[in-house]
Amino acid sequence: MDQCRTATTAALETARYYEPRWPDNILLVNPPKLPASIAALPKAELHLHLEGSIRPAMAQALAKRCGVEISTEEVLRRYTYRDFTEFIETFKWVTSYLRKPEDFGFLAADVCEQLLLQNVVYTEFTLSVGIMLLRGQDPQRNFEAMLAATQPFEARGLRVNWIFDAVRQFGPEAAMDVVGWAHKCKSPRIVAFGIGGDELSLPTKAFEAVYRRVGEYGMHRLIHAGEIGGPEKIREAVEMLGAERIGHGIGAIHDESLMDMLKERGITLEICPVSNLRTGALEIQRGKGATLSSHPFPQLVRRGIPVVLSTDDPAMFHTTLLEEYQHVYAMGVKEKELKRVIAQGFQSAFLSAEEKSSYLKQPA
Protein backbone atom coordinates (compact mmCIF):
# COMPACT_ATOMS: atom_id res chain seq x y z
CA MET A 1 0.00 0.00 0.00
CA ASP A 2 2.88 2.42 0.74
CA GLN A 3 4.12 2.01 -2.82
CA CYS A 4 0.63 2.68 -4.15
CA ARG A 5 0.24 5.79 -2.01
CA THR A 6 3.62 7.11 -3.15
CA ALA A 7 2.72 6.55 -6.80
CA THR A 8 -0.67 8.17 -6.26
CA THR A 9 0.93 11.22 -4.64
CA ALA A 10 3.29 11.53 -7.59
CA ALA A 11 0.36 11.38 -9.97
CA LEU A 12 -1.45 14.09 -8.01
CA GLU A 13 1.56 16.37 -8.37
CA THR A 14 0.84 16.37 -12.11
CA ALA A 15 -2.88 17.02 -11.62
CA ARG A 16 -2.67 20.21 -13.67
CA TYR A 17 -1.09 18.50 -16.65
CA TYR A 18 -2.35 19.45 -20.10
CA GLU A 19 -5.93 18.28 -20.34
CA PRO A 20 -7.00 17.59 -23.93
CA ARG A 21 -10.47 18.76 -24.81
CA TRP A 22 -13.11 17.88 -27.32
CA PRO A 23 -13.96 20.74 -29.72
CA ASP A 24 -15.15 23.31 -27.19
CA ASN A 25 -17.27 25.40 -29.51
CA ILE A 26 -20.05 23.18 -28.14
CA LEU A 27 -19.32 24.12 -24.52
CA LEU A 28 -20.38 27.28 -22.78
CA VAL A 29 -18.13 30.22 -23.54
CA ASN A 30 -16.79 32.35 -20.67
CA PRO A 31 -19.29 31.09 -18.09
CA PRO A 32 -19.82 33.23 -14.96
CA LYS A 33 -17.70 32.16 -12.01
CA LEU A 34 -19.28 29.66 -9.66
CA PRO A 35 -20.11 31.34 -6.33
CA ALA A 36 -17.60 30.48 -3.63
CA SER A 37 -20.49 29.52 -1.34
CA ILE A 38 -21.41 26.69 -3.76
CA ALA A 39 -17.85 25.51 -4.35
CA ALA A 40 -17.24 25.31 -0.59
CA LEU A 41 -20.28 23.22 0.30
CA PRO A 42 -19.72 19.51 1.08
CA LYS A 43 -21.11 17.44 -1.79
CA ALA A 44 -22.18 13.94 -2.73
CA GLU A 45 -21.23 12.34 -6.08
CA LEU A 46 -23.71 9.57 -6.92
CA HIS A 47 -23.16 8.76 -10.61
CA LEU A 48 -19.46 8.11 -10.99
CA HIS A 49 -18.00 5.20 -12.96
CA LEU A 50 -14.69 4.28 -11.37
CA GLU A 51 -13.22 3.00 -14.63
CA GLY A 52 -14.20 6.22 -16.39
CA SER A 53 -12.08 8.17 -13.91
CA ILE A 54 -8.63 7.13 -15.16
CA ARG A 55 -6.79 10.39 -15.73
CA PRO A 56 -4.08 10.37 -18.42
CA ALA A 57 -1.33 10.49 -15.79
CA MET A 58 -2.91 7.50 -14.08
CA ALA A 59 -3.22 5.70 -17.41
CA GLN A 60 0.56 5.90 -17.74
CA ALA A 61 1.03 4.71 -14.16
CA LEU A 62 -1.33 1.76 -14.62
CA ALA A 63 0.35 0.75 -17.86
CA LYS A 64 3.76 0.90 -16.19
CA ARG A 65 2.51 -1.44 -13.46
CA CYS A 66 1.76 -3.87 -16.30
CA GLY A 67 5.26 -3.46 -17.75
CA VAL A 68 4.13 -1.19 -20.58
CA GLU A 69 5.70 2.22 -21.20
CA ILE A 70 3.40 4.80 -22.75
CA SER A 71 4.68 8.19 -23.81
CA THR A 72 2.90 11.34 -22.72
CA GLU A 73 2.24 12.11 -26.38
CA GLU A 74 0.56 8.75 -26.92
CA VAL A 75 -1.78 8.94 -23.94
CA LEU A 76 -2.76 12.54 -24.74
CA ARG A 77 -3.43 11.56 -28.35
CA ARG A 78 -5.73 8.77 -27.23
CA TYR A 79 -7.51 11.07 -24.79
CA THR A 80 -8.30 13.51 -27.58
CA TYR A 81 -11.16 11.92 -29.50
CA ARG A 82 -13.29 13.28 -32.27
CA ASP A 83 -16.45 11.32 -31.55
CA PHE A 84 -18.07 8.84 -29.19
CA THR A 85 -16.77 5.83 -31.12
CA GLU A 86 -13.20 6.96 -30.53
CA PHE A 87 -14.03 7.51 -26.86
CA ILE A 88 -15.21 3.88 -26.57
CA GLU A 89 -11.98 2.66 -28.13
CA THR A 90 -9.98 4.72 -25.65
CA PHE A 91 -12.10 3.38 -22.79
CA LYS A 92 -11.37 -0.21 -23.84
CA TRP A 93 -7.68 0.55 -24.22
CA VAL A 94 -7.14 2.27 -20.89
CA THR A 95 -9.23 -0.15 -18.82
CA SER A 96 -7.25 -3.06 -20.28
CA TYR A 97 -4.49 -2.05 -17.84
CA LEU A 98 -6.74 -2.82 -14.87
CA ARG A 99 -5.53 -6.40 -14.61
CA LYS A 100 -4.90 -7.16 -10.95
CA PRO A 101 -6.76 -6.35 -7.73
CA GLU A 102 -3.93 -3.97 -6.77
CA ASP A 103 -4.55 -1.99 -9.97
CA PHE A 104 -8.15 -1.39 -8.97
CA GLY A 105 -7.07 -0.32 -5.50
CA PHE A 106 -4.47 2.01 -6.98
CA LEU A 107 -7.11 3.65 -9.17
CA ALA A 108 -9.71 3.91 -6.40
CA ALA A 109 -7.25 5.72 -4.14
CA ASP A 110 -6.44 8.23 -6.86
CA VAL A 111 -10.09 8.97 -7.56
CA CYS A 112 -10.71 9.49 -3.84
CA GLU A 113 -7.91 12.06 -3.78
CA GLN A 114 -9.54 13.89 -6.68
CA LEU A 115 -12.93 13.91 -4.93
CA LEU A 116 -11.51 15.34 -1.72
CA LEU A 117 -10.06 18.22 -3.73
CA GLN A 118 -13.64 19.12 -4.73
CA ASN A 119 -15.20 18.93 -1.25
CA VAL A 120 -16.92 15.62 -1.99
CA VAL A 121 -17.61 13.90 1.33
CA TYR A 122 -19.74 11.00 0.09
CA THR A 123 -19.65 8.99 -3.12
CA GLU A 124 -21.17 5.87 -4.61
CA PHE A 125 -18.70 4.38 -7.07
CA THR A 126 -20.25 2.46 -9.93
CA LEU A 127 -18.10 -0.60 -10.58
CA SER A 128 -18.25 -2.39 -13.93
CA VAL A 129 -18.44 -5.93 -12.60
CA GLY A 130 -19.92 -7.08 -15.90
CA ILE A 131 -16.67 -6.07 -17.63
CA MET A 132 -14.57 -7.80 -14.96
CA LEU A 133 -16.44 -11.05 -15.59
CA LEU A 134 -16.06 -10.66 -19.35
CA ARG A 135 -12.29 -10.38 -18.82
CA GLY A 136 -12.17 -13.42 -16.56
CA GLN A 137 -11.33 -11.48 -13.39
CA ASP A 138 -12.38 -12.24 -9.81
CA PRO A 139 -14.76 -9.43 -8.73
CA GLN A 140 -14.46 -10.29 -5.05
CA ARG A 141 -10.67 -9.99 -5.01
CA ASN A 142 -10.85 -6.75 -6.98
CA PHE A 143 -13.49 -5.36 -4.64
CA GLU A 144 -11.56 -6.31 -1.50
CA ALA A 145 -8.51 -4.46 -2.85
CA MET A 146 -10.62 -1.36 -3.46
CA LEU A 147 -12.17 -1.54 -0.01
CA ALA A 148 -8.69 -1.64 1.53
CA ALA A 149 -7.49 1.26 -0.65
CA THR A 150 -10.44 3.52 0.11
CA GLN A 151 -10.83 2.78 3.81
CA PRO A 152 -8.12 5.30 4.90
CA PHE A 153 -10.10 8.10 3.24
CA GLU A 154 -12.85 7.71 5.84
CA ALA A 155 -10.60 9.41 8.39
CA ARG A 156 -10.03 12.22 5.91
CA GLY A 157 -13.74 12.89 5.47
CA LEU A 158 -14.74 10.85 2.41
CA ARG A 159 -17.14 7.95 2.74
CA VAL A 160 -17.30 5.47 -0.13
CA ASN A 161 -20.10 3.06 -1.03
CA TRP A 162 -20.40 0.89 -4.13
CA ILE A 163 -22.82 0.02 -6.91
CA PHE A 164 -22.26 -3.25 -8.79
CA ASP A 165 -23.02 -2.59 -12.44
CA ALA A 166 -23.99 -4.92 -15.30
CA VAL A 167 -23.92 -4.22 -19.04
CA ARG A 168 -27.36 -4.24 -20.62
CA GLN A 169 -26.31 -5.62 -23.99
CA PHE A 170 -24.65 -8.61 -22.30
CA GLY A 171 -28.14 -9.87 -21.42
CA PRO A 172 -30.10 -10.86 -18.31
CA GLU A 173 -28.06 -13.99 -17.54
CA ALA A 174 -24.85 -11.97 -17.33
CA ALA A 175 -26.66 -9.36 -15.24
CA MET A 176 -27.83 -12.07 -12.85
CA ASP A 177 -24.19 -13.13 -12.45
CA VAL A 178 -23.33 -9.60 -11.33
CA VAL A 179 -26.15 -9.69 -8.78
CA GLY A 180 -24.79 -13.02 -7.53
CA TRP A 181 -21.31 -11.55 -7.03
CA ALA A 182 -22.74 -8.57 -5.14
CA HIS A 183 -24.45 -11.01 -2.79
CA LYS A 184 -21.36 -13.21 -2.51
CA CYS A 185 -19.15 -10.30 -1.46
CA LYS A 186 -21.46 -9.74 1.54
CA SER A 187 -20.38 -6.17 2.19
CA PRO A 188 -22.64 -3.46 3.61
CA ARG A 189 -20.70 -1.06 1.37
CA ILE A 190 -22.35 -2.59 -1.71
CA VAL A 191 -25.55 -0.58 -1.56
CA ALA A 192 -27.08 -1.05 -5.00
CA PHE A 193 -27.20 -2.86 -8.32
CA GLY A 194 -27.40 -1.02 -11.62
CA ILE A 195 -27.36 -1.61 -15.35
CA GLY A 196 -25.57 0.61 -17.84
CA GLY A 197 -24.70 0.21 -21.49
CA ASP A 198 -26.95 0.49 -24.53
CA GLU A 199 -30.46 1.02 -23.21
CA LEU A 200 -31.94 0.26 -26.65
CA SER A 201 -30.22 -3.11 -27.00
CA LEU A 202 -32.69 -5.27 -25.05
CA PRO A 203 -36.21 -4.71 -23.74
CA THR A 204 -36.58 -3.66 -20.12
CA LYS A 205 -38.90 -6.60 -19.43
CA ALA A 206 -36.00 -9.00 -20.03
CA PHE A 207 -34.49 -7.88 -16.70
CA GLU A 208 -37.54 -8.21 -14.45
CA ALA A 209 -36.28 -11.42 -12.81
CA VAL A 210 -32.87 -9.82 -12.26
CA TYR A 211 -34.38 -6.92 -10.34
CA ARG A 212 -36.65 -9.20 -8.34
CA ARG A 213 -33.50 -10.98 -7.17
CA VAL A 214 -31.90 -7.64 -6.32
CA GLY A 215 -34.90 -6.81 -4.15
CA GLU A 216 -34.73 -10.22 -2.45
CA TYR A 217 -31.10 -9.51 -1.55
CA GLY A 218 -32.05 -6.16 -0.02
CA MET A 219 -30.09 -3.98 -2.42
CA HIS A 220 -31.27 -0.72 -3.93
CA ARG A 221 -32.17 -0.64 -7.62
CA LEU A 222 -31.13 1.76 -10.33
CA ILE A 223 -30.56 1.73 -14.08
CA HIS A 224 -29.47 3.98 -16.95
CA ALA A 225 -32.61 5.06 -18.82
CA GLY A 226 -33.75 8.02 -20.86
CA GLU A 227 -30.17 8.88 -21.81
CA ILE A 228 -30.60 8.14 -25.51
CA GLY A 229 -33.94 6.39 -25.11
CA GLY A 230 -37.32 8.04 -24.81
CA PRO A 231 -39.46 8.63 -21.73
CA GLU A 232 -40.97 5.15 -22.06
CA LYS A 233 -37.62 3.66 -21.01
CA ILE A 234 -37.75 5.63 -17.76
CA ARG A 235 -41.35 4.65 -17.09
CA GLU A 236 -40.54 0.97 -17.70
CA ALA A 237 -37.54 1.17 -15.37
CA VAL A 238 -39.73 2.50 -12.56
CA GLU A 239 -42.83 0.37 -13.13
CA MET A 240 -41.26 -2.93 -14.26
CA LEU A 241 -38.00 -2.93 -12.34
CA GLY A 242 -38.75 -0.79 -9.28
CA ALA A 243 -35.84 1.56 -10.03
CA GLU A 244 -35.33 4.10 -7.24
CA ARG A 245 -32.93 6.33 -9.15
CA ILE A 246 -32.45 6.79 -12.87
CA GLY A 247 -29.07 7.27 -14.48
CA HIS A 248 -29.39 10.34 -16.75
CA GLY A 249 -33.14 10.36 -17.47
CA ILE A 250 -33.12 13.48 -19.59
CA GLY A 251 -35.64 11.88 -21.96
CA ALA A 252 -38.27 12.62 -19.30
CA ILE A 253 -38.71 16.10 -20.76
CA HIS A 254 -40.83 14.64 -23.56
CA ASP A 255 -43.58 13.32 -21.26
CA GLU A 256 -45.46 15.63 -18.89
CA SER A 257 -47.20 12.79 -17.05
CA LEU A 258 -43.89 10.99 -16.52
CA MET A 259 -42.35 14.11 -15.00
CA ASP A 260 -45.34 14.35 -12.68
CA MET A 261 -44.86 10.70 -11.67
CA LEU A 262 -41.14 11.18 -10.97
CA LYS A 263 -41.93 14.15 -8.76
CA GLU A 264 -44.74 12.42 -6.90
CA ARG A 265 -42.80 9.20 -6.28
CA GLY A 266 -39.53 10.95 -5.50
CA ILE A 267 -37.57 9.14 -8.22
CA THR A 268 -34.19 10.83 -8.56
CA LEU A 269 -32.57 11.62 -11.89
CA GLU A 270 -28.76 11.51 -11.89
CA ILE A 271 -27.91 14.22 -14.40
CA CYS A 272 -24.48 14.43 -16.07
CA PRO A 273 -24.58 17.41 -18.48
CA VAL A 274 -21.11 17.20 -20.05
CA SER A 275 -21.50 13.44 -20.52
CA ASN A 276 -24.83 14.02 -22.28
CA LEU A 277 -23.09 16.45 -24.59
CA ARG A 278 -20.09 14.21 -25.32
CA THR A 279 -22.09 11.05 -26.00
CA GLY A 280 -24.53 12.76 -28.35
CA ALA A 281 -27.44 12.04 -25.97
CA LEU A 282 -28.22 15.74 -25.77
CA GLU A 283 -28.60 15.98 -29.54
CA ILE A 284 -30.89 12.95 -29.52
CA GLN A 285 -33.14 14.58 -26.92
CA ARG A 286 -32.85 18.22 -28.05
CA GLY A 287 -32.12 18.02 -31.76
CA LYS A 288 -29.10 18.31 -34.02
CA GLY A 289 -26.61 20.96 -33.03
CA ALA A 290 -27.72 21.03 -29.38
CA THR A 291 -25.25 22.77 -27.10
CA LEU A 292 -24.75 22.63 -23.37
CA SER A 293 -26.84 25.77 -22.97
CA SER A 294 -29.88 23.80 -24.21
CA HIS A 295 -29.48 21.06 -21.60
CA PRO A 296 -32.78 20.40 -19.75
CA PHE A 297 -31.18 20.50 -16.28
CA PRO A 298 -32.82 23.84 -15.30
CA GLN A 299 -36.21 22.62 -16.56
CA LEU A 300 -36.02 19.41 -14.55
CA VAL A 301 -34.91 21.21 -11.39
CA ARG A 302 -37.75 23.73 -11.62
CA ARG A 303 -40.29 21.00 -12.30
CA GLY A 304 -39.65 19.75 -8.76
CA ILE A 305 -38.21 16.39 -9.80
CA PRO A 306 -35.43 15.17 -7.46
CA VAL A 307 -32.25 15.88 -9.43
CA VAL A 308 -28.60 15.36 -8.55
CA LEU A 309 -25.59 16.58 -10.49
CA SER A 310 -22.81 14.14 -11.40
CA THR A 311 -19.90 13.55 -13.79
CA ASP A 312 -20.42 10.00 -15.14
CA ASP A 313 -16.92 9.36 -16.60
CA PRO A 314 -15.11 12.54 -15.56
CA ALA A 315 -11.59 11.81 -16.80
CA MET A 316 -12.85 10.40 -20.08
CA PHE A 317 -15.21 13.31 -20.72
CA HIS A 318 -12.73 15.93 -19.44
CA THR A 319 -14.88 17.32 -16.65
CA THR A 320 -15.05 17.58 -12.86
CA LEU A 321 -17.94 17.92 -10.45
CA LEU A 322 -17.10 21.56 -9.80
CA GLU A 323 -17.06 22.21 -13.55
CA GLU A 324 -20.51 20.61 -13.83
CA TYR A 325 -21.79 23.04 -11.19
CA GLN A 326 -20.09 25.86 -13.07
CA HIS A 327 -21.90 24.85 -16.26
CA VAL A 328 -25.39 24.63 -14.77
CA TYR A 329 -24.84 27.94 -12.97
CA ALA A 330 -24.07 29.42 -16.40
CA MET A 331 -27.31 27.86 -17.69
CA GLY A 332 -29.15 30.14 -15.30
CA VAL A 333 -29.64 27.84 -12.31
CA LYS A 334 -29.66 30.16 -9.31
CA GLU A 335 -27.45 29.85 -6.24
CA LYS A 336 -30.45 28.94 -4.08
CA GLU A 337 -31.42 26.21 -6.55
CA LEU A 338 -27.87 24.84 -6.58
CA LYS A 339 -27.94 24.54 -2.81
CA ARG A 340 -31.10 22.44 -3.13
CA VAL A 341 -29.38 20.23 -5.72
CA ILE A 342 -26.41 19.73 -3.39
CA ALA A 343 -28.76 18.80 -0.55
CA GLN A 344 -30.59 16.42 -2.86
CA GLY A 345 -27.33 14.57 -3.40
CA PHE A 346 -27.42 13.46 0.25
CA GLN A 347 -31.19 12.97 0.34
CA SER A 348 -30.98 10.61 -2.67
CA ALA A 349 -27.95 8.72 -1.37
CA PHE A 350 -28.40 5.09 -0.36
CA LEU A 351 -27.89 5.86 3.32
CA SER A 352 -29.99 5.63 6.46
CA ALA A 353 -32.15 8.60 7.44
CA GLU A 354 -29.79 9.34 10.32
CA GLU A 355 -26.73 9.32 8.05
CA LYS A 356 -28.40 11.61 5.53
CA SER A 357 -29.34 14.01 8.30
CA SER A 358 -25.77 14.13 9.60
CA TYR A 359 -24.47 15.12 6.17
CA LEU A 360 -27.15 17.73 5.64
CA LYS A 361 -26.18 19.39 8.93
CA GLN A 362 -22.50 19.69 7.96
CA PRO A 363 -21.19 23.25 7.76
CA ALA A 364 -19.45 24.44 4.60
The residue type of 268 is T
Contact residues for 170 (Cβ-Cβ < 8 A; gap 6+) = 130, 134, 197
Active site residue 227: yes
Residue 288's nearest CA partner among 298, 280, 278 is 280
Q: What share of the chain is helix, strand, coil (3-state, %, to 5)?
A: 55, 15, 30
Concatenating the DSSP letter of every residue in 316-358 gives TTT--HHHHHHHHHHTT--HHHHHHHHHHHHHTSSS-HHHHHH
Tally DSSP H helices, then E strands, for the chain.
18, 8
Q: Which of 124, 227, 236, 270 is catalytic?
A: 227
Which value, in Å, is the radius of gyration of the alpha carbons in the chain?
19
Q: 98 — phi, psi (to 5°)?
A: -90, 90
Residues belonging to the active site: 227
